[in-house]
Homo-oligomer: A and B are copies of this chain.
Amino acid sequence: MELEEKYLSRKEIFSGRIIHVVIDTVELPDGTESTREVAYHPDGVGILALTDRDEVLLVRQYRYPIERVIYEIPAGKMDPGETDTEAAAIRELREETGAVAGTFEPFGSCLVSPGFCDETLHLYRAADLRFGQQDLDEDEFLNVERIAFDKALAMVESGEINDAKTCIAILREALHRK
């Protein structure tokens, strides 16, 4: 089956600090028309950071859309125009946790919700950590916890950790250890 959808026209809905929302009219593979609601969102980075005691650095952060505090790996959005995902990941790890890593390697990427959003998250794995000062954005409030890797994996399996990027990073690391 032919799958591609062709852009026909755009209605601008909203251009905010974070998201840009449009309704595009598209031609479907069968020649009919439909609309697609899209939220364009900056790409981001997430970092699985492991201490010498085999703990994972996790941040506890209130997430307004779901109205609760959850566990996530350190993460952040790319700055406007920024293209170096590794530099962004090094920055976000340092800002959120104070950690600087001796070893820093790509750990895959993921599309968060490709039906309506273009956001890609670039994951990194950090080890050989040294700790300095946290340096949060002015509207950012979070607590950093060090959790034993095996416990973090159990939290993914029990559902206590269910942030997608965090699940992927921890499951991938666990699989590589087997």
Contacts and interface: CB of A to CB of B under 8 A. Distances in A.
A87 interface: no
Interface in A54-110: 60-66, 69-70, 72, 77, 108-110
B163 A110 contact: yes
A169 B157 CA distance: 12
A108 B142 contact: no
Contacts of A64: 5, 24, 26, 36, 38
Copies per complex?
2
A70 B168 CA distance: 18
Given A141-B3, A164-B164, A23 B16 contact: yes
A69 B66 CA distance: 30
Tell me what chain A mostly uses at the interface: helix, strand, loop, or mixed.
mixed
Contacts of A174: 175
Given A66-B120, A164-B165, 11 more contacts: A1-B143, A28-B141, A32-B139, A40-B65, A41-B113, A63-B115, A65-B115, A77-B115, A110-B163, A171-B172, A178-B178
